[in-house]
Amino acid sequence: MKKVFLLAAFMIVATASQAQGVKFGIKGGANFSNLDGNQDSKSITSFHGGVFVELGLTPSFSVQPEALYSSQGAKVEGSDDINFDYVNIPVMARFYILPSVLSIDAGPQFGFLVNDNIDSIPGDYKTKNFDFAIAGGATVNIAAGFFASARYVVGLTDASEETTFKDTAKNMTAQLSLGYKF
């Protein structure tokens, strides 16, 4: 796990040294997640938080790699809440539609499982260690470095090795975040 954090930190710093208009920041907020493909699941509320660097490439376009700790999962009928804790690395392309104020964000997200609580699920359920997703949303820069964002993350890989669910079990997460850039 230390290797993942060190690699992410190295990539962010190395890339930041080559870009113009570099801003570092922190963010955190609420996750509203569920497992797609499972009719018996309901969404749960959890959290995410981490760091990022925004690399301004032009006045209206930037790239923002992030390193986030994110708790995701679902409430499945007949068991406890299912929680998957990931270190997620989203790499967002940011298009400013109102310069320095409002942006539309989209990009891939790479998730590395660090913890789960699948013991409460009946049967032989094994969680995959990697989750690939696509994310999209919007960010509003409020004032003096503060911002708010909303994002929806659609999992493209099944969260389980051998699912005991009726179909697939892909992570689907809506995120609301507040943060600060400096």
Give tens-digit pLDDT for 99-127: 889 999 999 999 999 999 876 555 556 78
Q: Please, what's the b/e burial string for 34-66 (b: 16 or more CB within 10 A of its CB; e: otherwise)?
A: bbbbbeebebbebebebbbbbbbeeeeebbbbb
Quick one: pLDDT at residue 161?
A: 74
Give the chain's length: 182
CA–CA dist 49, 179 (Å, integer): 9
Tell me the C-alpha to C-alpha distance, in Å, between residue 169 and each of 25, 81, 104, 157, 158.
Answer: 32, 14, 28, 8, 5
Lowest mean pLDDT: which of 76-80, 126-130, 154-158, 172-176?
76-80
CATH topology of domain 21-181: Porin (2.40.160)
Strands (E) located in the chain: 22-36, 41-42, 44-58, 61-76, 81-98, 102-116, 130-143, 146-158, 170-181
Side-chain-side CA neighbours of residue 181 (13 Å): 24
Q: What is the pLDDT of residues 27-84, one digit of tens each?
A: 999 999 998 876 678 999 999 999 999 999 999 999 999 999 999 999 877 777 889 9
Q: Is the pLDDT of residue 91 over 90?
A: yes
Quick one: pLDDT at residue 44?
A: 95
CA–CA dist 87, 115 (Å, integer): 10
As a whole number, the mean pLDDT across the chain is 87
Quick one: pLDDT at residue 108?
A: 99
Quick one: pLDDT at residue 16?
A: 46
pTM of the shown model: 0.84
Mean pLDDT over residues 171-180, rounded?
98
